[in-house]
Amino acid sequence: MTWEPERLDDQHHLTECDPGGMLRAVAGSAAQVRTGHRVAVESGVDRLVADVRPRAVVVVGMGGSALAGDLLAAVCGQGAPIPVVTVRSYQLPGWVGATDLVIAVSWSGETGETISMATEAVRRGCTLLAVGPAGSALEAVAVQSSSVYVPIPTEGRPRADLWLVTTPLVVAASALGLVRTEPTVYERVARVLEEVAHRCRPSSDSFLNPGKTLAMDLAETVPMIWGSSPLAAAAAARFAARLNEDAKYPALFGELPEAGHNQVAVFDGPLAERDIFADTATRTLRLVLLRDLDEHPRVTSAREAVVRLAQDRDVLVTELAADGDHPLERLASLIGPADFATTYLALGYGLDPTPVGPITELRARVTH
Ligand SMILES: O=P(O)(O)OC[C@H]1O[C@](O)(CO)[C@@H](O)[C@@H]1O
C-alpha cells in the first residue's frame, strides 16, 4: 500500500477506487441537514420536547450515531442548564430515571446496544425520542411505548450520514431551550457544507483543494488531532474516527488544555523523530490543531505555546480554524473539510474508503 499523491487528481482513479460513492456521500452533507430538519419537524419533535422539562438529556447510540450525541453536547455548550451526555453501552447508568429524556439514535435501527438501552429507558419510565430508519427494531420500541420516532431516510454508510442523524437532535435541544436556533440556522449550516463541498470537489486540483491538501498533510504521518474547545474536540474525535474507517489509519485525538498534560509528551518520542535526509517519506508525528473561535483565553495561550513547542522540535503542524457564528456552523466548518480529507487520504493510498472489514467481521463474530 503506497501513498501516491497524483492519484488525487486522476479523475478515473477517484471514480474507480470509490465504488461505494463515499466522495459523493460527503458532498451530500448539506442535503442531510435540510432533510434531518424537515423530518424532525414533521415528526413533531419540537412540539414533544417543548412539553418536557428533563433533568438530563441522555443520548444513547454507538459509533457514528453516538457521535451525534457528542455534537449535540458541543452545540449546547458548557453553559447548558442541564447535562447532555452520551452513553455507548448496553446499559443505562443507574442515575437515569423517569425525569430524563433519552434520545436513542441508530442509523440502521438495529444495533443491539442501542435497542437494549432504548428498551431499558422505556422500562424506567424515561421520555424516549428515537431516530432511525422506518421499519426498524428501534421504531418498534418507540411505537410500542408511544414515543416520538423520527424516521430518517438513510443511505450509504452510517458515518456518511452524520448530519442526518445529528440535526433532529439539535431540533429537539432547540425546543428544550438548550441551544439558540433562529430559523435560518439550518440553512446557514447547509450553505457552509455546500461551500466546503464545492471547494473540495474531486475536479478541483490538489493545490487549490483544501480536502486534498489536508490529505497530503496527513499522508505518511501519525496524526494527533486536538481541539481547542469542547466543540473543536468533538470535531477532532469525528476526524479520528473517519481516519480509522475511511483510510484505515491510526489517529489520536484530544482537547486542550488536557492534551497538554499527557499527549504533548509524544513530541519527545520516537514517532516525532524525522529523518529529513531520507529518500522516501518516513512515518512521523503530525499535530493537527482544530481551532475554535470560542476558546478560553488560557487555552489560546496554551495552543500558541504548543505550536512553538512543536516547531522547536521539528514536529509537523497543521492548523484548521473554525468559522461561523452559530456552534453548528463552526462544527460544519471543521468537520466538512476533514470528511473530504479522510476520503482523499484513502484514495491516495489506493484504498476503497467505504468497506470497514474488521468492524463487520467483529460484529458478525460477536453476534454469533
Ligand atoms: O448507527 P447504527 O446503525 O446503530 O450503528 C452504530 C455503529 O455501528 C456500525 O454499524 C459498525 O458496527 C458503525 O458503522 C456505526 O457507526
Q: What is the pLDDT of residues 304-341, one digit of tens each?
A: 999 999 999 999 999 999 999 999 999 999 999 999 99
Q: Which of 257, 266, 271 is nearest to 305 (CA)?
A: 257
Looking at the structure, tell me whether residues 133 and 224 fall in a common domain: no
Question: 63-76 and 162-175 are packed helices; what angle lies between their axes, rounded to 10 degrees?
Answer: 40
Dihedral class, residue 12 (left if φ above 0, else alpha if ψ from -120 to 50, else beta) = alpha
Is residue 361 a part of any domain in this protein? no
Whether 131 maps to a domain, the answer reads yes
Please work out, in degrees rounded to the nearest 5, the angle formed at the alpha carbon of residue 31 by the alpha carbons of 294 and 27. 80
C-alpha separations of 262 from 107, 257, 308 in Å:
34, 10, 17
Q: How many CB atoms lie within 10 A of CB 263?
A: 19
Are residues 341 and 227 located together in one domain of the fold?
Answer: yes
If you average pLDDT over every residue of the chain, what do you get?
Answer: 95
Interval between CA 105 and ligand 1 midpoint (Å): 10
Q: How far apart are CA 36 and CA 94, in angstroms?
A: 31
Distance in Å, CA 343 to ligand 1 centroid: 18
The confidence score (pLDDT) of residue 12 equals 97
In this prediction the ipTM stands at 0.97
Alpha helices (H) in the chain, listed in sequence order: 11-16, 22-27, 29-42, 45-50, 63-76, 112-123, 137-144, 162-175, 185-199, 210-218, 230-246, 297-312, 327-348, 357-367
Q: Provide the number of structural domains found in the chain.
A: 2
Write b or e for each residue in 223-252: b if 16 or more Cβ atoms lie within 10 A of its Cβ, otherwise e: bbbbbbbbbbbbbbbbbbbbbbbbbbbebb
How do residues 174-195 score in pLDDT, each as one tens digit?
A: 999 999 888 899 999 999 999 9
Same domain, residue pair 13 and 137 = no
Residue type, 23: L
Structure confidence by residue, pLDDT tens digits, 86-128: 999 999 999 999 999 999 999 999 999 999 999 999 999 999 9
Question: What nine digits make up the cell of 208?
Answer: 487549490
Residue at 94 is within a domain: yes
Is residue 194, in this structure, part of any structural domain at all?
no
Atom of ligand 1 nearest to the CA of 245: 14
Q: Do 272 and 172 belong to one domain?
A: no
Residue range of the domain that includes 265 = 5-21+199-348
175 and 224 in a single domain? The answer is no
Residues 143 and 103 in one domain: yes
Could you tell me if residue 292 is inside a domain? Answer: yes
Q: Are 246 and 342 found together in one domain?
A: yes
State whether residue 198 is helix, strand or coil.
Answer: helix
Q: Residue 104: inside a domain, yes or no?
A: yes
**57 with 159, same domain?**
yes
223 pLDDT higher than 90: yes
Between the CA of 336 and the centroid of ligand 1 the distance, in Å, is: 20
> What residues does ligand 1 touch, defined as CB less than 6 Å away?
61-65, 106-108, 111, 114, 158-159, 359, 363
CA dihedral 55, 52, 169, 102 (to 10 degrees): 50
Are 101 and 225 contained in the same domain? no
pLDDT at 48: 81
Which of 107, 114, 161, 242 maximizes ligand 1 atoms within 8 Å of its Cβ, making it the mutation to test the pocket? Answer: 107
pTM for this model (two decimals) = 0.95
**Residue at 365 is within a domain:** no
15 and 124 fall within a common domain = no
CATH number of the domain where residue 225 is located: 3.40.50.10490
Q: Which of ligand 1's atoms lies nearest the C-alpha of 113?
A: 4
Q: Do 176 and 261 fall within a single domain?
A: no
In this model, does residue 258 exceed pLDDT 90? yes
Query: Residue 52 — very low, low, confident or very high, per pLDDT cuts 50/70/90?
Result: confident
